[in-house]
């Protein structure tokens, strides 16, 4: 008898309420459709397929390795980095420069290391490279550079050496100083200038120019 009662109760709990439920979903859907549709569209703008990524870890594709001078490297061996990827190291032992080189030069990147302007070229393409670094941290050692110093960029596909041929202090808006239209592989490294003085706006740039003296061409 008790089992029968329980059965009755369970049926009452499921059949009528779930039938009502289905009717109510339909009722709400049709009556509130003009309100729900724009809300769903708005939600589509705010909600995506995956959770938002707040991580600030930059990607890395650089692997330390020794290279013998190969003369040329096939293009297929060159991995074009995404913006924010650590893809090379830039070193100049005489002045104590040894930092990570990232593809891109946003503030976030510059806090981690040197950043290469993505409108410039990767090493080996016989076109200028434009690399920035903070004057107080990453590129602080470049103030001690002199003409004739060697700067090495180590990538996954080859090691490139540049010889400094000019050091200059120029205005940040001087476009000629950062000319990327040249058809030779010039390394342009720059930092804010002066190096240690707290100034409201630093309009000057300390620029080191280097010319490639070794490293494989990309074919």
Partner 1 sequence: MPMNNNNERLRLPIAYLTSFVLSILLTVLVALFVFKQTFFTQQAVFKAFDQSSYVNIARESLIENSKEIIIQYGVDESIIDDLYNPIQFEEDLKGSLQSIWTKQVYQIDSSILDTEIKARLNQFLVNQGLTITTEVQVGIDEASQLIIDEYQKKSTIPLLSAYRSIMVTYEKYLNYSELILGVLLIGLTYFLYRLLSKSKVSLFIGYALATSSWLMFLLALYFRVDGFYTRIQIRPEYINKLLVILGSNTLNLFIYLSLGGIGLSLFLFYMAYHKDKS
The sign of the CA dihedral 120, 124, 128, 131 is positive
Judged by CB, which is closer to partner 1: 30, or 213? 30
Judged by CB, which is closer to partner 1: 131, or 192? 192
Judged by CB, which is closer to partner 1: 55, or 148? 55
Least Å from the CB of residue 148 to partner 1:
27
Judged by CB, which is closer to partner 1: 18, or 80? 18
Q: What are phi and psi of 206, to 5 degrees?
A: -90, 120
Least Å from the CB of residue 12 to partner 1:
5
Those residues with Cβ within 8 angstroms of residue 19's Cβ, 6 or more apart along the chain or in another chain: none
Q: How far apart are CA 182 and CA 187, in angstroms?
A: 11
For 149-186, b where at least 16 C-beta lie within 10 A, e where not — what string?
Answer: bbbbbbbbbbbbbbbbeebeebeeeeeebbeeeeeebb
Structure tokens at 195: 């190096």
Least Å from the CB of residue 163 to partner 1:
28
Judged by CB, which is closer to partner 1: 100, or 154? 100
Least Å from the CB of residue 187 to partner 1:
23
- DSSP H/E element including 13: helix 2-46
Least Å from the CB of residue 86 to partner 1:
19
Q: How far is CA 192 from the centre of its chain?
A: 21
Binding site for partner 1 (CB under 8 A): 5, 8-9, 12-13, 16-18, 20-21, 23-25, 27, 43, 46-52, 54, 56, 107, 111, 134-137, 192, 194-200, 202
């Amino acid at each position: 008898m008790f089992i029968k009662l329980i059965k009755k109760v369970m049926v009452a709990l499921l059949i009528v309420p779930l039938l009502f439920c289905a009717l109510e979903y339909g009722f709400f859907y049709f009556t509130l459709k003009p309100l729900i549709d724009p809300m769903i569209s708005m939600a589509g703008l705010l909600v995506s397929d995956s959770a938002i990524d707040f991580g600030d870890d930059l990607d890395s594709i650089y692997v330390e390795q020794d290279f013998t001078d190969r003369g040329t490297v096939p293009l297929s061996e060159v991995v074009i980095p995404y913006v924010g990827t650590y893809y090379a190291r830039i070193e100049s032992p005489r002045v104590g420069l040894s930092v990570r080189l990232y593809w891109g030069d946003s503030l976030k990147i510059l806090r981690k290391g040197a950043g290469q302007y993505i409108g410039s070229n990767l090493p080996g393409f016989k076109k200028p490279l434009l690399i920035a670094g903070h004057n107080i941290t990453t590129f602080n050692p470049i103030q001690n550079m002199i003409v004739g110093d060697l700067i090495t960029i180590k990538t996954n596909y080859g090691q490139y050496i540049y010889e400094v041929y000019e050091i200059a202090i120029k205005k940040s808006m001087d476009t000629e100083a950062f000319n990327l239209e040249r058809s030779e592989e010039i390394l342009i490294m720059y930092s804010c200038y002066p190096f240690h003085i707290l100034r409201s706006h630093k309009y000057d740039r300390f620029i080191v120019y280097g010319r490639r003296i070794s490293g494989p061409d990309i074919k």
